[in-house]
Amino acid sequence: NAGVTQTPKFQVLKTGQSMTLQCAQDMNHNSMYWYRQDPGMGLRLIYYSASEGTTDKGEVPNGYNVSRLNKREFSLRLESAAPSQTSVYFCASSETQTNSPLHFGNGTRLTVT
Amino acid sequence: QKEVEQDPGPLSVPEGAIVSLNCTYSNSAFQYFMWYRQYSRKGPELLMYTYSSGNKEDGRFTAQVDKSSKYISLFIRDSQPSDSATYLCAMRRGGGNKLTFGTGTQLKVEL
C-alpha cells in the first residue's frame, strides 16, 4: 500500500520548457490536490479535484493546468516554466472534499533556470 | 497579516524535554485543526486532527485548541531525536474545502 506516489522526484527545466508532474493514490480517495511549498510561504493550494471529472482553482493557479485522469491519478502541467515556479510540489488526497484529512506524497523538487 | 501565524524556529531542545509548538489564527470560521510532521525531503504526514475546542491526546502527543483565543498548540512529551522535523499546523472552515497551513516550526531534539 504505497499511499500517494509522485513522479518524478527531481526535475530541472529551462525557462519556457513544459512538463507534467504525475500523481497516483491507491487509497480509493475521491479528492486530490496539488500544493507548492516555498520557504516562508508554507503550503499553497494550486488546484484540486473534489471528485473524478471535476477540477477547481486553488490559491495560486496561474501558469498551471491539471487533469484528473481517473479516480487514482491527478496530473499537474506546466506549459511554459518560469523561474518563479521553482518549488517543491506536493500531491495529496483525501477521502472526501470536506472535513477529512489530507495524505501527502513525498514531493517533486522542481528547479527552473 | 497571514491568516495563520507560526514561529519558524528553529527550536532546539534536549532529549526527554516537553515541547510546545503553537499557531495563532485570525479567521474565527476555522473549525478543524490539524498538525502535520514533515521530515526533511519528505511529504507532510498527519499527526493530529481535531474538531473545535478542547484537547486530544495520542501517545506522547497532545493537541490543544482554544478557539476563544484563536490559538492552537501541540505538546510532545518525552521528546526523542526521531521527533526532529518541521511541524505544520493547518486548519479549515466547517464544510470548507480550503486548508490553510502555517509556515512550519523546525524542531531539533538533541541527545
Q: Give the separation between CA B43 and CA A4, rounded to whole angstroms.
A: 10
How confident is the model at residue A6, as a pLDDT?
Answer: 98
Report the pLDDT value the prediction gives residue A60, as an integer from 0 to 100. 96
Q: What is the pLDDT of residue B96?
A: 67
Q: Do A104 and B34 touch (CB under 8 A)?
A: no
Task: For chain A, say whether B101 makes contact (Cβ under 8 Å).
Answer: yes
Per-residue model confidence (pLDDT) at position B105: 96
A103 interface with B at CB cutoff 8 Å: yes
SS3 content of chain B, % helix, strand, coil (to 5): 5, 55, 40
- Pairs of residues, one from chain A and one from chain B, whose beta carbons lie less than 8 Å apart: 51
* Grid cell locating B43: 511529504
Positive or negative torsion for Cα A100, A103, A108, A111: positive
The pLDDT of residue B8 = 87
pLDDT at B95: 74
Kindly give the confidence (pLDDT) of every residue in chain B, 111 residues in length, as a single tens digit, with 9 standing for 90 and above. Answer: 789 999 888 999 999 999 999 999 999 999 999 999 999 999 999 999 998 888 999 999 999 999 999 999 999 999 999 999 999 999 998 776 688 999 999 999 999
Interchain CB contact of B77 with A (< 8 Å): no
State residue B74's pLDDT score. 98
Number of H helices, E strands in chain A: 0, 11
- Residues in chain A where the model's pLDDT stays below 70: 1
Q: Which of B30, B86, B98, B99 to mutate to test the interface with A (most CBs of A within 10 A)?
A: B99
What was the pLDDT predicted at B97?
66
Give the pLDDT confidence score for residue B51 in this predicted structure: 87
Q: Is the Cβ of B34 closer than 8 Å to some Cβ of chain A?
A: yes
Q: What pLDDT is stored for residue A98 in this prediction?
A: 73
> What is the C-alpha to C-alpha distance for residues B97 and A31, in angstroms, rounded to an integer?
10
Give the separation between CA A33 and CA A50, rounded to whole angstroms: 8
Tell me which DSSP letter residue B104 carries: -
For chain B, what is the largest distance between any 2 Cα atoms, rounded to a whole number of angstroms? 43
Torsions phi, psi for B95 (to 5 deg): 75, 0
Res A97: pLDDT: 74
Q: How far is CA B89 from CA A77, A92, B35, B49, B68, in A?
A: 28, 16, 5, 10, 18
Q: What is the pLDDT of residue A96?
A: 83
Q: How far is CA A103 from CA A27, A62, B3, B23, B97, in A?
A: 10, 24, 22, 21, 15
B104 has a chain A CB within 8 A of its CB: yes
Distance CA B19, CA B100 (A): 23
Q: What is the structure's pLDDT at B94?
A: 79
How far is it, in rounded angstroms, from Cα B4 to Cα B17?
A: 26
